[in-house]
Amino acid sequence: MDIDNKARIHWACRRGMRELDISIMPFFEHDYDTLGDDDKALFVRLLECDDPDLFNWLMNHGEPQDSGLKKMITMIQLRNKARGPLAM
């Protein structure tokens, strides 16, 4: 997926699992445009992961072995926490 195809990335953010939607969508809407190309590519790569893995990582029930994906999970968690609960 191209990091500049925001419509496609937005569509990929919609996971159908509420817990994932309230973690991923606010990050995309508020932070994606501020990321550098490398971090955008990491975010897109994260979106290619399976929902159960994303859920576990974002809910701190494990972490990805890939250091880049781990970095992106941490970034999503920290930026969402700074915005407050359910900041959409």
Residue 88: the pLDDT is 47
User: SS3 of 31, please?
Assistant: helix
**Share above pLDDT 90 across residues of the chain, in percent, rounded to a whole number:** 78
Residue of 79, 53, 52, 85 whose CA lies nearest to 66: 53
Residues 6+ apart with CB under 8 A from 20: 51, 54, 55, 58
Euclidean distance between CA atoms 23 and 60, whole angstroms:
12
Task: For 44-77, write each residue's pLDDT tens digit.
Answer: 999 999 999 999 999 999 999 999 999 999 999 9
Domains and CATH numbers, the chain: 6-83 (1.10.150.250)
Is 50 exceeded by the pLDDT of residue 78?
A: yes
pTM above 0.75, yes or no: yes
Q: What is the residue whose two structure tokens read 């419509």? A: 7
Residue 2: the pLDDT is 86
Beta carbons of 59 and 17 less than 8 angstroms apart: no
